[in-house]
Chains A and B, each alone.
Chain A
Amino acid sequence: MPPDPPASGKSPAPGNSASHSQEEAPRAAIRPRPKLAVYKFSSCDGCQLSLLNLEDELLDLVGAVEVAYFLEARRQVQPPPYDVGLVEGSISTPEEEDRIRQVRRDCRMLVTIGACATSGGIQALRNWADVGDYVAAVYAQPKYIHTLETATPIASHVFVDFELRGCPVNHGQLSELVSALLVGRKPNIPTHSLCVECKRRGCACLLVAHGEPCLGPITQAGCGALCPAAGRACYGCFGPMEQPNILSLGSRFLADGRSAREVKRALRQFNGYLEPFKQGSDHYERLEQGKH
């Protein structure tokens, strides 16, 4: 989408800006080198690395935005407020609970990147267990561990403007997201199944031709069918697609001779705590325990 005609340096007439609708207001303000902040919560840094891996584009990015807060990349920090905040990681400690509220106050637009920030991540598996048991099993001195009972997505704590899926996020989507935010348009991020991307790419279907338990038909596209192209069934890194029919795919897996436990575990991975994968895995857990 081409940018609007340049305002040729003139600032809008005072009477004019008063009549601006609310949607236009942030857009006009974003135009002069918006300030970007990148935050880390409980996560592996993989999504921030994806941002750094944009390399050539990152150089452009540095020209187009002011990287005001990005501890992984530079120690120099500028004070808030920021125009766009990208958040990696889930909320897993009491400190993080407080910090995310401050981050929300500091950023006009808050965007989560990756499975941890969007779904709670792999660490959210503890939401089905007793965190005390884990702590006791892992740490020699459990008394020093201050952690929450659960690991939860950012959106469980504060309002999030946009969520970018993936474990880790996809280069192309990240660059699309940032360019869209800069121009002030809606990012073009599809929410349909992975199968669409898989078929466009021309991969042999692992489910139909090999009987593999592929999560592609219920998983949101975005990775470009990375795993199917490498002969691996989809793990669901991009989380549930729009309106996934989990029970139907689950029935196919059961008919192929897989157990309810296997289906549950397939759903409880990087995005296991994200609805409706969560509901789906709970369903197969009840089935596993013979409660149906």
Chain B
Amino acid sequence: MSHPTLAIGGTVFLPRSALRDLVTVLRKRGFTVIGPTQVEGVVALRPLTSGQELPRGVRDEQGPGHYRLVPGEPDLSFEYVVGPDSPKRKFFPPVLNLFQFHVDRESFVLDAGPPQVPKLAFLGVRPCELAAIKVQDHVFGADDPRTVRCESETYYCESRRESFLVAVNCTRPGGTCFCASMETGPAAKDGFDLALTELRQGFITAVGSVRGLEICHDLPVREPSGAELELAELKLHIAHEHMGCTLDTQGLKDLLDQSLDHPQWADVAKRCLSCGNCTMVCPTCFCSTVSDSTELAGPKVMRTRRWESCFTHQFSATTAGPVRNTIRGRYRHWLRHKLGTWWDQFGMSGCVGCGRCITWCPVGIDLTAEAAQIRAHSQNSVPPVEEAPV
């Protein structure tokens, strides 16, 4: 089976019925396949044993602090966008036991070493998630193993190296998506092994890597027609114009740097619960805390790493107490890290426009709206003091 288009950088057509085969082929190659599954009213990422488990005919309705699944087109498999989970859950697990040891007289004895690294294939990775993976690859040092920083993560790097990514482009953006503003979607540009665009009969499939090409050889792919290619392109173009949110990124970092005393921070602090949901669901947030726990009387000690959030007290605790002691300070730190200071730290944006923090905020705080408020009432547009109403 060889087509002129079956090459890296080429595009083939995968019939709808072969979506199942894709899961089977990946599993045969030793991958644990992780994909979208409908659980308790949300689309979550779970291990798939067959393509049958993928949701079908469901849409998500997303808004600030709001998420519901509703019926969609019965034959379509990817009419929803991202749920609360992201591949971060697997590459950088929320709770990971790093090792266990015990004290034997004067020495430490290792009982359980570093955790086994899984071999994972993700099905249905959205373009913003690919962008988030790229961000975390950089943060954790997977993109350049020679550079070791304090954020470098062995487990992350190794599980990423093993992983296989099947992206799905977004033909129906969600109510809180703004990947178009962040230039990360709705079509994947790179960073995938395969990237699918859903049409009724099947999927226009871009081949992104040697491994992606190998998988295609095991699937009943054919050459796409000109009309199919055009339709896929049109769908993605329309999606680009129908984002739920927008963010004006022009000069944003400088604007935030100059707005440390902006009244909007106090305004958002009245609403923000400092609950940490936004950082937990954010696919780029990388903060964690490491703690040792001892057994009640035995000599065993377990070292565990857990996701941490800059919205907790403990996060900025020093011997003199927490450095960011107010919700105002914590929200400001968070927003500035995502949209501003990440550039200083890593040379890129810490936000990819996935919209999760907006949807999963219990009180619907929308970072694009907060940023817009800060821009609208920035120092330049605020009237000089003497003219301001008393």
Interface residues of A in 29-64 (CB under 8 A from B): 54, 57, 60-61, 63-64
B281 proximity list for chain A (CB < 8 A): 199
> A200 to B95, Cβ gap below 8 A?
yes
| A191 in complex: contacting residue of B271, B314, B363, CB < 8 Å | B314
User: Which stretch from A114-122, A146-154, A174-182 is at the chain B interface?
Assistant: A174-182
A5 proximity list for chain B (CB < 8 A): 106
Q: Does B42 contact A (CB under 8 A)?
A: yes
B296 proximity list for chain A (CB < 8 A): 54, 57, 60-61, 64, 175, 178-179, 182
Q: Mark B205-233, 1 if CB is under 8 A from A, else 0.
A: 00000000000000000000000000000
Scoring B85, B291, B301, B312 by chain A CB atoms within 10 A of each residue's CB, the highest score goes to: B312
A105 proximity list for chain B (CB < 8 A): none
| B297 in complex: contacting residue of A64, A201, A244, A251, CB < 8 Å | A64
> B42 to A209, Cβ gap below 8 A?
yes
A205 proximity list for chain B (CB < 8 A): 42, 67, 84, 277, 360, 362
> B276 to A183, Cβ gap below 8 A?
no
Scoring B41, B108, B272, B292 by chain A CB atoms within 10 A of each residue's CB, the highest score goes to: B41
> A196 to B273, Cβ gap below 8 A?
no
Given the complex of chains A and B, what is the CA–CA distance between A217 and B270 in angstroms? 14
Q: A64-B297, A188-B293 are in contact. Are A204 and B273 (CB under 8 A)?
A: no
- Chain B's closest residue to A64 (CB) is B297
Interface residues of A in 172-220 (CB under 8 A from B): 175-176, 178-180, 182-183, 188, 190-193, 195-196, 199-205, 207-210, 214, 216-218
> A245 to B327, Cβ gap below 8 A?
yes
| A248 in complex: contacting residue of B84, B95, B273, CB < 8 Å | B273
Q: A191-B314, A192-B311, A204-B39 are in contact. Are A249 and B362 (CB under 8 A)?
A: yes
Q: Does A1 contact B (CB under 8 A)?
A: yes
Q: Does B306 contact A (CB under 8 A)?
A: yes
Q: Mark B242-284, 1 if CB is under 8 A from A, else 0.
A: 0000000000000000000000000000111111110011000
> A243 to B313, Cβ gap below 8 A?
yes
> A193 to B293, Cβ gap below 8 A?
no
A252 proximity list for chain B (CB < 8 A): 65, 362-364
- Chain A's closest residue to B69 (CB) is A209
Interface residues of B in 290-327 (CB under 8 A from A): 291-298, 301, 306-307, 309, 311-314, 327
Q: Does A72 contact B (CB under 8 A)?
A: no
A6 to chain B, nearest CB (A): 9
- Chain B's closest residue to A193 (CB) is B275
Given the complex of chains A and B, what is the CA–CA distance between A249 and B361 in angstroms? 11
| A196 in complex: contacting residue of B68, B275, B364, CB < 8 Å | B275
Q: A191-B313, A209-B42 are in contact. Are A248 and B306 (CB under 8 A)?
A: no
Q: Does B359 contact A (CB under 8 A)?
A: yes
| A217 in complex: contacting residue of B89, B275, B314, CB < 8 Å | B275
B298 to chain A, nearest CB (A): 6
- Chain A's closest residue to B40 (CB) is A204
> B306 to A243, Cβ gap below 8 A?
no
Q: Does B103 contact A (CB under 8 A)?
A: yes
A194 to chain B, nearest CB (A): 8
> A193 to B103, Cβ gap below 8 A?
no
- Chain B's closest residue to A242 (CB) is B313
Q: Does B383 contact A (CB under 8 A)?
A: no
A211 to chain B, nearest CB (A): 8
Given the complex of chains A and B, what is the CA–CA distance between A216 and B102 in angstroms? 36
The size of the chain A interface, using a CB distance under 8 A, is: 49
Q: A204-B44, A205-B84, A209-B41 are in contact. Are A199 and B273 (CB under 8 A)?
A: no
A178 proximity list for chain B (CB < 8 A): 296
A247 proximity list for chain B (CB < 8 A): 270
Given the complex of chains A and B, what is the CA–CA distance between A60 and B297 in angstroms? 5
> B306 to A200, Cβ gap below 8 A?
yes
Q: Does A94 contact B (CB under 8 A)?
A: no
Given the complex of chains A and B, what is the CA–CA distance between A145 and B382 in angstroms? 67
> A200 to B294, Cβ gap below 8 A?
no
> A193 to B274, Cβ gap below 8 A?
yes
> A249 to B84, Cβ gap below 8 A?
no
Q: Mark B61-75, 1 if CB is under 8 A from A, else 0.
A: 000011110000000
| A61 in complex: contacting residue of B297, B311, B313, CB < 8 Å | B297
| B273 in complex: contacting residue of A1, A3, A244, CB < 8 Å | A244
A178 to chain B, nearest CB (A): 6
- Chain B's closest residue to A5 (CB) is B106
> A202 to B273, Cβ gap below 8 A?
no
Q: Does A231 contact B (CB under 8 A)?
A: yes
> A183 to B313, Cβ gap below 8 A?
no
Q: Does B94 contact A (CB under 8 A)?
A: yes
Q: Does A15 contact B (CB under 8 A)?
A: no
Q: Mark B357-371, 1 if CB is under 8 A from A, else 0.
A: 001111110000000
> A196 to B280, Cβ gap below 8 A?
yes
> A200 to B94, Cβ gap below 8 A?
yes
Given the complex of chains A and B, what is the CA–CA distance between A64 and B65 in angstroms? 49
B291 proximity list for chain A (CB < 8 A): 188
> B301 to A176, Cβ gap below 8 A?
no
A63 to chain B, nearest CB (A): 5
Q: Mark A204-240, 1 if CB is under 8 A from B, else 0.
A: 1101111000101110000000000001000000000
Please give 19 more A-B residue pairs, beta carbons under 8 A apart, in addition to A203-B40, A217-B362.
A2-B108, A57-B297, A60-B297, A60-B298, A179-B294, A180-B294, A191-B314, A192-B276, A192-B313, A193-B273, A193-B311, A196-B307, A196-B312, A200-B307, A202-B89, A204-B42, A209-B42, A214-B362, A245-B270
Complex A-B: 27 CB contacts under 8 Å: A3-B103, A54-B296, A60-B298, A179-B293, A179-B295, A179-B297, A192-B276, A192-B311, A193-B273, A193-B311, A193-B312, A195-B362, A199-B281, A200-B306, A202-B94, A204-B41, A204-B42, A205-B67, A207-B362, A208-B359, A208-B361, A209-B41, A217-B362, A243-B327, A245-B327, A249-B362, A252-B362
> Footprint of B on A, CB under 8 Å?
1-3, 5, 54, 57, 60-61, 63-64, 175-176, 178-180, 182-183, 188, 190-193, 195-196, 199-205, 207-210, 214, 216-218, 231, 242-245, 247-249, 251-252
4 closest pairs, A vs B, by CB? A60-B297, A199-B280, A64-B297, A200-B94
